[in-house]
């Protein structure tokens, strides 16, 4: 099964995680894992957050469609690094 066969092209055609799970005959958590593994293997699958009119997964048709996903992921990375910093500082304090 190739996940890319189930993901539409274009942000306006994004498929929700729930709908994708139904089509894959799996649960939403497993669907997220499948998408994650496909991305790691090189699939350019973008997504938007819930609450947006076209929330879900899509294959971008242009640079403009890919940029919002890139910004969202960069923000998540930055936030995760900031949250991890106190624990790293604590661990590093024992090395002094």
Domains and CATH numbers, the chain: 3-93 (1.10.10.10)
List pLDDT tens digits, range 27-81.
Answer: 999 999 999 999 999 999 999 986 677 789 999 999 999 999 999 999 999 999 9
Measure the CA–CA gap between 52 and 10, rounded to whole angstroms: 15
User: Contact, 31 vs 20, CB < 8 A?
Assistant: yes
User: Contact, 11 vs 60, CB < 8 A?
Assistant: yes
pLDDT band at 96 (very low <50, low <70, confident <90, very high): confident
Quick one: CA dihedral 41, 42, 43, 45, positive or negative?
positive
pTM: 0.86
Alpha helical stretches, state H, the chain: 17-24, 28-40, 63-93
Please report the pLDDT score of residue 54 as a whole number.
74
């Amino acid at each position: 099964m190739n996940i890319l066969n189930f993901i539409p092209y274009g942000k306006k055609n994004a498929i929700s995680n729930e709908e994708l799970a139904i089509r894959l005959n799996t649960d939403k958590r497993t669907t997220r894992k499948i998408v994650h593994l496909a991305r790691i293997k090189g699939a350019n699958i973008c997504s938007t957050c819930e609450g947006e009119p076209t929330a879900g997964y899509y294959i971008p048709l242009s640079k403009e469609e890919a940029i919002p996903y890139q910004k969202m992921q960069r923000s998540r990375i930055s936030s995760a690094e900031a949250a991890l910093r106190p624990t790293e500082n604590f661990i590093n304090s024992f090395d002094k």
